[in-house]
Structure 1
Amino acid sequence: MLIYLPGLICDARTFAPQVAAFADSWAMNSYGPDESPADTLQEMARITLDQAPDRFDLFGHSMGGRIALEVYRLAPERVRRLALSSTGVHPVRPGEPEKRAVLQQVGYDHGFEALVDQWLPPMVAEANRAKPEIYEPMRQMCLDQGQARFDAHINALVTRPECESLLATITCPTLVITGEQDGWAPPVQHEAFAGQIANSQLVIVPGAGHMLPLEAPGEVNTAIARWLDMPADD
Structure 2
Amino acid sequence: MPDVRELRLTDDVRLHVETDGPVDAEVTAVLLHGWTLDGNIWHRQLATLRDRFGAKVRVVTYDARGHGRSSCMTLPTATLAQLGDDLAAVLDTVVPTGRVVLIGHSMGGMTIMEYAHRHPTHFAARVAGLVFVSTTAEGHTHTVYGLSPRVARLIRRAESTGAGVLARCGSRRPPRPLLRALRPSIRWILFGDRYNPADLRLVTRAVAHASLRSIGGFRASIGAQHRLATLAGLTHLPSVTLVGDRDRLTPLPCTESIAAALPTTRRTVCPGAGHLLMLERPGAVNTALAGVLGRVLDSPAAPVAR
Q: What is the TM-score of this pair, normalised by structure 2?
A: 0.67
Deviations 1:60-96 (A, max 9, x none): 1001111011122213312110111111111555958
Q: Is the 8 A contact 1:19 1:26 kept in 2?
A: no
Match of residue 70 from structure 1: 114
Taking the TM superposition and a 5 Å limit, the aligned residue runs for 1:70-219 are 70-73=114-117, 74=119, 75-77=122-124, 78-91=126-139, 93=141, 98-104=157-163, 112-113=175-176, 114=178, 117=183, 120-121=186-187, 122-128=189-195, 131-160=196-225, 162-170=226-234, 171-219=236-284
Q: Distance in 2 between matches of 1:218 and 1:184?
A: 21
Q: Deviations over 1:184-213 (max 9, x none)?
A: 212233123213214211011233210111
**What secondary structure does 1:58 align onto?**
strand
Question: Which of residues 30, 41, 46 in structure 2 aligns to 1:14?
Answer: 41
| Secondary structure of 1:195 counterpart | helix
Once structures 1 and 2 are overlaid, which stretch shifts more, 176-185 or 60-69? 176-185
Aligned AA (1:49): A
Q: Which runs of 5+ in 2 are unaligned?
A: 1-27, 51-57, 142-151
Shift of 1:112: 4.8
Q: Specify the alignment match of 1:41 in structure 2.
A: 80
| SS of structure 2 residue aligned to 1:167 | helix
Aligned-partner residue type, residue 169 of structure 1: G
Q: Which has the larger radius of gyration?
A: 2
Letter in 2 for 1:14: I
Q: Secondary structure, in 3 states, of the residue corresponding to 2:64?
A: coil
Q: Tell me the percent identity.
A: 21
Distance, in Å, in 1 between the alignment partners of 2:165 and 2:81 is 27
The more displaced of 85-94 and 134-143 is 85-94
Aligned length: 229
Distance 1:119 1:169, change over 3 A: farther
* Residues 139, 222 of structure 2: 8 Å contact kept: no
Letter in 2 for 1:175: V
Partner of residue 147, structure 2: none
Shift of 1:118: 7.0
Structure 1 stretches lacking a partner, 5+ long: none
SS in 1 for 2:240: strand
CA distance in 1, matches of 2:250, 2:139: 14
Range with greater deviation from structure 2 (193-202 or 87-96): 87-96
Among 59, 71, 75, the alignment partner of 1:25 is 59
Are the aligned partners of 2:32 and 2:109 in contact in 1 as well (CA < 8 Å)?
yes
Residue 6 of structure 1: how far off its partner (Å): 0.8
| Helix, strand or coil at the partner of 1:22 | helix
Computed over aligned residues only, the root mean square deviation of the Cα atoms, in angstroms, reads 2.6
d(CA) in 1 for partners of 2:222, 2:84: 13
Query: CA shift at 1:106, angstroms?
Result: 8.6
Contact 1:34-1:149 at 8 Å conserved across structures: no
Give the drift of 1:219.
2.0
- Work out the CA distance in 1 between the residues paired with 2:217 and 2:185: 16
Alpha-carbon displacement from aligned partner over 1:94-116 (angstroms, at most 9, x marks no partner): 958634324437968xx655475
